[in-house]
Amino acid sequence: MTALPERTVDSKFPAGDSDDSADREPVATNSEQKAIENKSLKASFLTSFFTSTLSIFERRSDSFSVEKKPTKSRSYGWTTAVRKVVTSGSMRRLQEHILGTSRFDNLSMTSQIWFLGKCYKLSLEESSQCSDPGNSYAAFLEDFSSRIWITYRKGFEPIVESKFTCDVNWGCMIRSSQMLVAQALILHHLGRSWRKPLQKPYELQYVEVLHLFGDSSTCAFSIHNLLQAGRGYGLAAGSWLGPYAICRTWETLARANKEQAEHDKCKESLPMVLYIVSGDEDGEQGGAPVVCIEVAARLCSDFSKGQLEWAPILLLVPLVLGLEKINPRYIPLLWETFTFPQSVGILGGKPGASTYIVGVQDDKALYLDPHEVQPAVDIRRDDSEADCTSYHCSTVRHLPFDMIDPSLAIGFYCRDKGDFEDFCSRASQLADSSNGAPLFTVVQNLQPAKPIPCHVGTDHNRGIHDTSVENFSDIGDQVHGDEWQIL
């Protein structure tokens, strides 16, 4: 994967129990803000150097050494030494210092941030001086750094039928999807107001969630098990896939996990219904995405084997909102989904470089970036003293909304029936305000669909059919040329 062209906002907010006091700085004053602006000329001159240099060495994956051992020569030793220096934390801090990037860089101090269903009204003042500390910038940073951050890892057990012990350059979509599902699990078990404590011991429920995403075949939602579940959609170690395929992969893995839990008579790792929203029953014939209340009810009944009227639901909505670029008319609609209390973010990013988009401000999408290489760690489900710092990030990155790849997937978590009904109400209002081109619609019952011509099979790497728009002129006013979502 190539690195995203991005601005970073280093929050300097202590993540977890980090002891790096050098990274903890007070909130910037107006004079500091002015100083940052004065560095813009220097930043524009040096940005390309640091970005290209860092990306070159970050893309050098240690995983490929298992296939071809490096030659022990002076040139190799020199390259290794330079790579360590360039990718070190000290070099990154030097880059941020010279380029003037800080937690205020390009983030407005007057515009609100919508972050996974919660609104933050930023202020340059300290939380102690703010009339509503819960809405302050510091509160946003605490919330942001409490989300589960899952990145490239190196040094894990070899993936079955391959020699890969690292997922650098190909695992970013998998990692992004893990972050979204992890957020749904945190919402389910700990609630939206949960924040990672700064001191140990940690809640065992939080540690158990992290354990599920460990890099081992023994962890339910590991990259190893996702690769196994996604084989039918072209997922393989060393290859990349799109949002549609990863959504279907999670559906397969969730089904297998439920069957295993029933066989072993133990609790399920994913205690919720997974509903992949598509245009038809199996998503293979194309069509505008439709959330069907009747289908959701049936899935809940099947999940609980008829014992409960309703169950928690994780909805994943894979979409394609343009061809080479996202259609601008969809940007306000995507923006609005982050105001939903049920929001668990978006799988999206630049082509070939997936990220986990978690918030919005003005025309910017805020995201957690999986393109950071970290050593694999083993977190036992009962270890309340585990070192969890590598699963949290205090750097807020953002990119312009109009640079997002049009192939993406939106996630929503509904705790109960009332929460689902609230989601459906919000989604219907959003569709009504879309001028005839909604992201998706909500219906009570599925109507018999008209035959839809489809000329080319599914490309799972994009999650899209190559279907001629001209052939849909007889479907009605719901279809508007290139605004029609094709799955």
Question: Does the N-terminal peptide bond of residue 341 adopt cis geometry, omega within 30 degrees of 0?
Answer: no
3-state per-residue secondary structure call for 290-318: EEEHHHHHHHHHHHCCCCCCCCCEEEEEE
Give dist(CA 301, CA 81) in Å, integer: 58
Instruction: Say whether 62 is catalytic.
Output: no
Query: At CB < 8 A and 24+ separation, what contacts does 219-224 make?
Result: 220/257, 220/269, 220/270, 221/178, 221/181, 221/253, 221/269, 221/270, 223/153, 223/156, 223/159, 223/167, 223/171, 223/174, 223/175, 223/178, 224/157, 224/159, 224/160
Contacts of 263 (CB under 8 A, 6+ apart): none
Give dist(CA 235, CA 242) in Å, integer: 10
Q: Hey, how many other C-beta atoms are within 10 angstroms of the C-beta on 302? A: 12
Instruction: Say whether 300 is catalytic.
Output: no
Closest CA to 276 of 233, 226, 227, 314: 314
Q: Hey, how many other C-beta atoms are within 10 angstroms of the C-beta on 52? A: 10
Element (DSSP H or E) covering residue 226: helix 223-229
Which residue among 10, 143, 215, 369 is the active-site one?
369
Pairing label, strands 343-350, 313-320: unpaired
Instruction: Say whether 172 is catalytic.
Output: yes
Which residue among 166, 172, 414, 424 is the active-site one?
172
Distances (CA, A) of 471 to 407, 451, 481: 22, 11, 10
CB 214 within 8 A of CB 202: no
Pairing label, strands 364-368, 353-361: antiparallel
Closest CA to 165 of 380, 373, 392, 386: 373
- At residue 84, φ and ψ (nearest 5 deg) are -65, -40
Give dist(CA 284, CA 79) in Å, integer: 48
Dihedral sign computed on CA atoms, order 64, 65, 66, 69: positive
Distances (CA, A) of 28 to 33, 125, 259, 383, 459: 7, 9, 53, 37, 48
Give dist(CA 225, CA 159) in Å, integer: 9
List residues bridging with 442 in a β-sheet: 291
Tell me the chain's radius of gyration from C-alpha atoms.
23
Catalytic positions are 172, 369, 371
